[in-house]
Structure 1
Amino acid sequence: MALREVGIPHRLIALLVLGHVAFTGSRFTLTLHAVALHASPFAIGLLMGLIMVLPMLLAVRVGRWCDRTGYARPTAIGFTMLAASGLVAGLVPTMPGLYVASVLTGSGYMLAHVAMNNAIGQASPASLLTQSFSWLTMGFSLSGIVGPLVAGFLIDHLGHPAAFLFLPGFTVAGLLLLAMAHSHHSIAPRGAPAASESVRDLVLNDPLRTVFIVTGVLSMGWDLFMFLAPLHAVRSGLSATGASLVMGAYGVGTFAIRLALPRLTRDASLWRTLSAAMFMTAICYVLFPLAATLPLLLLAAFAMGLALGCGQPMAMSLLYVTVPASRAGEAVGVRSTITSASQTVLPLVFGGLGSALGVAAVFWIGALVMAWGGTFANRRR
């Protein structure tokens, strides 16, 4: 690995955060526009599931590709696809157009996400690995606020197509930053993996498998909230701006907990912290559907952000200290496959359950899964 700078790779982090603004804004707008088109919960679940259907199938191959070729080309292609998704949805604002945009949104962001996570892990010295991913996830917290807020404001004042057409501007800025970052963070490709190496080796590694399981539960908790919260907010009578404020409160919660994360992990074990976070998430899932006014929804979303916000940086740090260095991109791909499967299957399942049982019941099913995850993590401490 050849690097021109040693330290936290802030340019790489800022680059991925710009892409995440476009991704979260697009996903939020897709949901609200589908609601405006009077789509059923199942149709909305299908729309959200399509975001990650290709990432679920291709993430491991993308990770291997990034190990061989570096991060610049996959990121550039991914950002271009992410920009194209906004153009498609803005120019063809119908359900078929939204389905196409959904596939482009998820596939494009997956390319950039796998490539840049791998690059950030490689560019960070071992002593700064946790800090680097803490910075990255704090950036995600901010982008999780900015994306829905910008989209909600544009929807209320200019309409859904305008929001779709504006969001690609963030990916254009990201492409410009990519050209600058590549000259400062030149990471040598590692070549193709040995013929005897397979994904099975990673999955059968007991410490890695434990990390992958925890990743799956945390991803389910995160994605279920991102799917259900805007739907619940709009059906509670909030405007698009009000729904975006709820998602913004969630982002503020994730940012706040990630600021405190170094102290939390210093005073308590990693697994104990993860277990407590999952149990707190389960409690939030029980209470969230009972909130029906903006102040209560803001408070509940903030609490949910506190609960879920600490999981991602700890899981990523565990992944990089456990996986062999030559297969880091592939391991990120496996993790992305797990999260993509969650984002593909769960919206369909929970969308169908929401149509049959109601949205509140889906929240409570999620609470049971998160409680199981907390028990699983507690046994590993």
Structure 2
Amino acid sequence: MALLIRIYAIIFGMETMLYMTRPVISLLGTQLGASTFDIGLLTASYAFLPVIFAIYLGKMTDRIGDKIPNIAGVIGMMIGMFLPYVWPSLTALYISQMIIGISRIMVTISLQNMVGRIAAPAQRDQYYGWLSMSVALGGVFGPIIGGYIAHNTSYVHTFFISVLVGIIPFLLSWFIPDQRGERSLPALNHSKSNNPDAGGGSFSLLRSTTLRKALLSSALVLYSRDIFVAYFPLLGAEWGMSDIGIGWIIAIQSMAMVAVRLFLSPLTKRYSREVVLIGSILIAGIAFMFVPLTTPFILMAVISTAMGLGLGCGQPLSMTTIFNASPPDRTGEVLGLRLSTNRLSQVVAPLFFGFIGASAGIASVFYLSGIFLIGGALLTRTSSSEVEEHSKTSGL
């Protein structure tokens, strides 16, 4: 349990550090002369390197263990945060986002892999739920702290303070074990003899229908969260909302993500994991479409809450499904594949929505994103025969 607390503290510190600056990036970029399309390009730059290297980093984690990639990732994020403070320019923001993006992937793969190895199969929903809750809590405190710093000092000072916050996860990272190899506790009924994908390339893993649909749902949730964090500050600024108000709206969404994860275990026991996942994505999609229609702060807070309740279920449920569907000696690789898929959506979506926003206005970004979420939720539906097949192969 002490190890889990350290893991959750590291991810909480990293996410607080990250979300102190994420809403500020769009506002600072606009201040430096960026257009709506430039904001999309800036948002996409965060995910560009992970698309290329996430699978390789997952394989590396399986080979060398979790500790070194985690420490390297924390250091990289601190460097990336410091850059816009000493060199406030659009060029620095692009470089900063690329460094932060690849560094965060290293931390994420390491800690997700470690949690999956610690947990017995029956505990994974709960443990990954706590991990996601730590992420969401960082998303609560980060925007609030960042909003107050930006309002009372400047946007670039927010980056400097985030580096100071990063000292805590950096120190904690030295006190996690250097785990590697197969899962330390009894896990799934996978072996190279009965798993045709165990010895193949990374993309051979996509033969699993369950894995493909889990990857799709994970990508839908993550890109939607990023689109909201990137474009709502611009929409809020159009409405005349203050930096503090924008930070609170984003934080309220994260609070809802935390709240729903407290009830995730009983929800999945009462209903199937698929029903909870599809229902939550549908709720998020509908909420997205109401964002441009709710300029009053209170109504926007309600919509943000509904969106958070929807998005809050997606990540932990998809993480559990993906880990359960992976060969025992390739968990880091599969998590890398998940993150590579997520980051691909985070490259394509901001560029696409940046073009849409520049052409048809920022409100159109939210309408179209809502439609995509609703359509994607329907695509992730799994037939009863697929569920039965997955249960047989996974031993669950």
Shorter-chain TM range is over 0.9
Post-superposition CA distance 1:175-197 (Å, at most 9, x none): 111112x2xx4423459x99942
Partners in 1 of 2:59 and 2:301 — Cα distance?
A: 41
Segment of structure 1 superposing worse, 193-202 or 362-371 = 193-202
Please give the per-residue CA displacement for 1:26-57, whole angstroms capped at 9, x wherever unaligned.
22221221122242111111111101100111
Q: Does 1:48 align with 2:48?
A: no
Separation in 2, partners of 1:61, 1:379: 29
For the structure 1 residues 135 and 195, does the alpha-carbon distance in structure 2 shift closer, same or farther, using more than 3 Å as the test?
closer
What is the CA-CA distance between 1:14 and the residue it aligns to? 1.5
Rounded Cα–Cα distance in structure 2 between residues aligned with 1:178 and 1:371:
39
TM-score of the superposition, structure 2-length normalised?
A: 0.90
Alpha-carbon contact 1:282-1:371 (below 8 Å) kept: yes
Closer, same or farther: CA 286–195 of 1 in aligned 2, 3 Å? closer
Counterparts of 1:10-159 in structure 2, within 5 Å, are 10-159=5-154
- Indicate the residue corresponding to 1:329 in structure 2: 332
Runs of 4+ in 1 over 4 A off after TM superposition: 193-196
Tell me the alpha carbon deviations over residues 66-109 of structure 1, each in whole angstroms, 9 at most, x when there is no partner.
00011111111111111011211111111111111111111111
Distance 1:145 1:45 in 2: 23
| Letter matched to residue 199 of structure 1 | S
Comparing 362-371 and 325-334, the one that deviates more: 362-371
Local SS of the residue matching 2:134: helix
Give 5+ residue unaligned stretches, structure 1: none
Instruction: String of CA shifts for 1:347-368, please: whole Å, max 9, x gaps.
Output: 1110111010111212111121
Identity of aligned residues (%): 25
Q: State which drifts further: 118-127 or 316-325.
A: 118-127
Q: Indicate which of 379, 391, 394 corresponds to 1:376.
A: 379
Q: Which AA in structure 1 matches 2:179?
A: I
Unaligned runs of 5+ in 2: 184-191, 385-396
Q: Deviation per CA, 1:98-130, whole angstroms, max 9, x where unpaired?
A: 111111111111111111111111122223211
TM normalised by structure 1 equals 0.93
**For 1:277 and 1:77, how far apart are their aligned partners in 2?**
34
Q: How does 1:205-220 map to 2 (within 5 A)?
A: 205-220=208-223
Letter matched to residue 23 of structure 1 = L
Query: Using the alignment, how far apart are the partners of 2:213 and 2:310 within structure 1?
Result: 20
RMSD, aligned α-carbons: 1.9
Counterpart Cα distance in 2 of 1:188 and 1:288: 44
Q: Which residue in the other structure is 2:252 paired with?
A: 249
Question: Residue 324 of structure 1: CA displacement?
Answer: 1.0
Give the aligned length. 372
Tell me which of 232, 237, 243 is aligned to 1:240.
243
Deviation at 1:209, TM superposition (A): 1.7
Query: How many Å separate the matches in 2 of 1:252 and 1:10?
Result: 20
Say if 1:21 and 1:147, in contact at 8 Å, map to a contact too. Answer: yes
What are the superposed Cα offsets for residues 314-362 of structure 1, whole Å, 9 maximum, x if unpaired?
1111111111111100000000001111111211110111010111212
